[in-house]
Amino acid sequence: MRNNPPKIITYLANLPLNLLLYATLIVPFALMIYLAFLAWNPAAGINWWEAPFTGVNNFIRALSDSRFIAALGRTAAFVVIVVTIEFFLGLALAYFMLEEFKGKKISLSLIIYPLMLPWVVVALIFYLFFQDYGPMNNVFLKLIIGESAQNIHWFLSSTTAFISLIIADVWQWTPFIFLVMYSGLSAVSKRLIEAAQVLGASSRTIFWRIQLPLIKPLVLIAVVLRALEAFKVFDIAYVMTGGGPGTSTETISLYIYRVAIEYHDISYAAALSLIVLIILVIIIRSFIWYSFERGVKR
């Protein structure tokens, strides 16, 4: 059956996907490449097919656009910081959750439920959480610093506003890293661990020398997927800080959104998108090569 598929079946199997992809995504992707080389602003009252070409002007403008470079750097910093924190928190939590104990089942369900909440709701939760009378000032800061803690106006200074975004992201996504590591670690064969115990290895040695190396490929996948997801960061910045104060928490997604929607500079937004896309496609392609294809060729 595998050797001789009837043509009609393979054709039917692919038709719906291709129709959908061409109708909604592939045509716009082609359009984006075209738009990026135009000088078009819909406010001028002409259609995009009537707009003049400007060659690579949009791209040159992007390279000297300090707001764009700053947003790109800020987003990259955000990705590195949140992924690092989430990695170590997730790892520690997976280590502590591994053995059986009373209340494990309920703890597991509670730990992973931030993953299911809509990102806007997470943004809303932390928008309320960081208000002057919210629990960040009144519970956590007082626990850490003591009763003398002053209320911090989290969204009014650029550093604390950025930190509040990091905290919201870490809150929602540490469970993801935890979940991948936890399911990887609990799949490691019990016999292997027992054998090591018989040979006299301590539980710490077993964790670092046996369990962790075995789940390394899983951890790599989780970290890369998380990093790509973190790079998208839009919802929490849009809802919690609005990119502010000033443009100090503006992420790359938020900046492109603003150029396109608020400044109506469509062709420039298309050029910015293309630059980001090319960077990301190179990263994703090399990840796919590194994790799937490298092994095949070896």
Partner 1 sequence: MNHKIISKFTRYLVIIIFLSWILIPVLWMVTLAFKSYPEWRVAYFFPKEPTFMNFILIFEPKQIVGMMGATALVDPVTLPFINSLLVVGASTVLSVIIGFFTAYGASRYNSPGPFSLFFTLLTRMLPPATFVTPIMVYYSNLKLLDSHLGLIMLYSAVTVTYGIWILKGFIDQVPIEWEQAALLEGASHLQVVFRVTLPIVKSGLVVSGLFIFLLNWAELLFALVLTNVQAVTLPVHISKYVGAVGQLYGPQAALGILSSLIPVIIGYIIQKHLVTAFTFGMVR
φ and ψ of 8, to 5 deg: -60, -35
**Which parts of 11-70 interact with partner 1 (CB under 8 A)?**
12-18, 20-21, 23-29, 31-32, 35, 48
What is the per-residue burial (b if ≥16 Cβ within 10 Å, else e) of 228-247?
eebbebebbbbbbbebeeee
Is the Cβ–Cβ distance between 93 and 174 less than 8 Å? yes
**Which parts of 82-101 interact with partner 1 (CB under 8 A)?**
92-93, 96-97, 99, 101
Q: Please tell me whether residue 260 binds partner 1 under the rule CB under 8 A.
A: yes
Pick the binder of partner 1 from 60, 120, 156, 282 (CB under 8 A): 120
Q: Please tell me whether residue 207 binds partner 1 under the rule CB under 8 A.
A: no
Q: Please tell me whether residue 148 binds partner 1 under the rule CB under 8 A.
A: no
Task: Show Cβ contacts of residue 119 under 8 Å, excluding neighbours closer than 6 positions.
Answer: 172, 235, 236
* Residues touching partner 1, count (CB under 8 A): 100
Alpha-carbon dihedral angle through residues 193, 92, 225, 298, given to the nearest 10 degrees:
-30
Pick the binder of partner 1 from 218, 223, 247, 248 (CB under 8 A): 218
Instruction: Please identify, among the stretches 60-68, 111-119, 155-163, 188-196, the one whose residues bind partner 1 according to the rule CB under 8 A.
Output: 111-119
Q: Please tell me whether residue 177 binds partner 1 under the rule CB under 8 A.
A: no
Pick the binder of partner 1 from 37, 68, 87, 126 (CB under 8 A): 126
Sign, CA dihedral 132-173-90-162, equals: negative
Is the Cβ–Cβ distance between 86 and 174 less than 8 Å? yes
Residue 138 CB, nearest approach to partner 1 (Å): 5
Pick the binder of partner 1 from 76, 119, 188, 244 (CB under 8 A): 119
Q: How many CB atoms lie within 10 A of CB 149?
A: 14
Q: Please tell me whether residue 115 binds partner 1 under the rule CB under 8 A.
A: yes
Residue 228 CB, nearest approach to partner 1 (Å): 5
Q: Please tell me whether residue 222 binds partner 1 under the rule CB under 8 A.
A: yes
Pick the binder of partner 1 from 44, 63, 192, 277 (CB under 8 A): 277
What number of residues does the chain have?
298
- What binding mask, one character per residue, do residues 182-201 give for partner 1 by CB under 8 A, x or -? -xx-----------------
Q: What is the largest CA-CA distance in the chain?
A: 79
Beta bridge partners of 53: 38
Distance CA 214, CA 199 (A): 19
